[in-house]
Amino acid sequence: MYKTKIAGIGKYLPENVVTNHDLTKVMDTTDEWIQERTGIRERRYGTKHKESTTTMAARAAEVAIERAGTTKESIDFIIFATLSPDYFFPGCGVLLQRELGITNTEIGALDIRNQCSGFIYALSIGDQFIKSGMYKNILVVGSEMHSMGLDFSTEGRNVTVIFGDGAGAVVLQPSDDVSEILTTKLHSNGTHAEELAFINPGCHGGYHLGTEQFGYPDPNTYGGIFLTPKMVEEGMIYPNMNGQFVFKLAVQKFPEVIQEALVSQGLQTTDIDMFIPHQANLRISQFVQKILKLDDSKVWNNIQKYGNTTAASIPIALCEAWEAGKINKGDLVCLAAFGSGFTWGSALIRW
Ligand code: UT7
């Protein structure tokens, strides 16, 4: 069996900076509230009609491919994690292949829908393909263009102020030295799926599964993906989140899944050189850091600058930490995420 290494890493952040103050012009919120509750000072928004989840992913991928010392044509599989795809279908994997100009190779492309933990799921799948010898040069990306699907009225403020746009990418290759993805741990529990969800448009017609809570549209109506004018009018086309519920579960599941990974490798929290948590809320990251008893120098947070970029948040932070010289060969890097589904996971990487 082969070992998998991250051979190259890249990121892309749109140029357009949107501060908390900017948001106060369109909704009833304050810089103080946002900073105090989330740690966020600003985020980036892609340029409408010029940038998309796919184009941002391509820019991050180009950097990762170059740093891996390989070429676009040598990529033999694509794994794309996003919750904000360019199209309902087809997925962003094939669009990325086209954007990179490598359709002639006709490699496989897979889309991952695991929201905040999407990148860890994608990494884990890529790792299995490399280990088995099936592929030798896998492009794994997380990219999000949230700004196109947020509610900028006061009603949506608890969700909208948190999210930002961006992309991160890695190239996975077989390793012949110390560098290795040691383990990945993946979990889910769909019991509370709707507590953090973007329900419409969907084939379920806006119904909360098992209830008639939302009641749109007429249950006797048939005809494809439901998106009615009434849904648009009543703002049922935006993500919704029970923030406190998510927060409480997140701070429980992060430490659990990190410990699970460490124990499986006979390692301890003191062995971690760099912890990259999914950037959902600075308070969540700090809470987890405290439980793990990690110094500030061993945790990388950038939510202050970029907000929560869901599937892109871990690869962007990992790339930034590496570019800053904070991750060196042989270091133990720990990734962990929790989010919608709920799904969560961790990865331990010997860099
Ligand atoms: O990445 C996916 C996973 N997501 C997460 O992990 C998110 C986890 N949850 C959170 O990060 C936090 O719950 C939030 C940041 C989303 C919200 O913070 P909170 O401290 O839980 O606030 P809350 O939702 O309990 O709301 C408290 C108050 C409410 O007002 P009242 O009812 O007390 O008068 C909200 O209406 O804050 C109000 N509020 C706001 N005020 C100003 C909610 N959003 C805003 C806002 N600006 N943007």
SS (H, E, C) 182-226: EEEEEEECHHHHHHEECCCCECCCCCCCCCCCCCCCCCCCCCCCE
Rounded Cα distance, 178 and 167, in Å: 28
| Chain segment 30-73, per-residue pLDDT in tens | 999 999 999 999 999 999 999 999 999 999 999 999 999 999 99
β-bridge partners, 131: none
Rounded Cα distance, 341 and 351, in Å: 30
pLDDT bucket at 223, cuts 50 / 70 / 90:
very low
Residue 166: pLDDT over 90 = yes
Q: Is the CB of 313 under 6 A from ligand 1?
A: no
Q: Can you give the pTM of this predicted structure? A: 0.95
Sheet strands side by side (includes 332-339)? 180-188, 343-350, 332-339, 274-277
Checking phi first, is residue 172 left (phi over 0); if not, alpha (psi -120 to 50) or beta?
beta
- The closest residue, in CA terms, to atom 8 on ligand 1 is 247
Cβ within 8 Å of residue 88, ≥6 positions away: 201, 225
Q: Is the CB of 247 under 6 A from ligand 1?
A: yes
pLDDT bucket at 233, cuts 50 / 70 / 90:
confident
Residue 259: pLDDT over 80 = yes
Cβ within 8 Å of residue 212, ≥6 positions away: 219
Residue 130: pLDDT over 60 = yes
Fold topology of 4-176: Peroxisomal Thiolase; Chain A, domain 1 (3.40.47)
β-bridge partners, 188: 343
Active-site annotation holds for 203: no
Catalytic residue among 116, 137, 200, 334: 116
Domain spans in the chain, listed from the N-terminal domain onward: 4-176, 199-237
pLDDT at 236: 76
